[in-house]
Amino acid sequence: MNASIRKIFFAWLMLFAVASCSTVKSGYSALRSDYASWEGHPASELLDSWGEPDTTEELGTDYVAYTWLGDDGVCRRTFTSRAGTITGYSESDC
């Protein structure tokens, strides 16, 4: 393979790698945005959609945290609610 063909091949390879990373990152952003879209909705709707959480923690008067573990047992997605309305979302180790 001559130097010219190697340069073209390397350029295409780099373009593919950059495009792949971009797709993964935009997919993650879309999921993160989807999770955040629950804010302002009744917690009962979230529970109907997601099913029973792995843990439910009372955080004080009218505050509750609902946490689901990922299939790997490590990723944690937590929604918080106040007076029955989702007020926030966080994730760790995902």
Domain architecture of the chain: domains with CATH: 3-92 (3.30.1450.10)
User: What is the pTM assigned to this prediction?
Assistant: 0.65
| pLDDT tens per residue, range 1-38 | 565 555 444 434 344 443 434 334 444 455 556 888 99
Nearest to 53 by CA among 72, 67, 74: 67
Element (H, E) at 31: helix 3-36
| pLDDT tens per residue, range 49-86 | 999 999 999 999 999 999 999 999 899 999 999 999 99
Q: What is the DSSP letter of 60?
A: E
Q: Which residue is listed with tokens 């373009």?
A: 15
CA–CA distance, 68 with 76 (Å, rounded to integer): 6
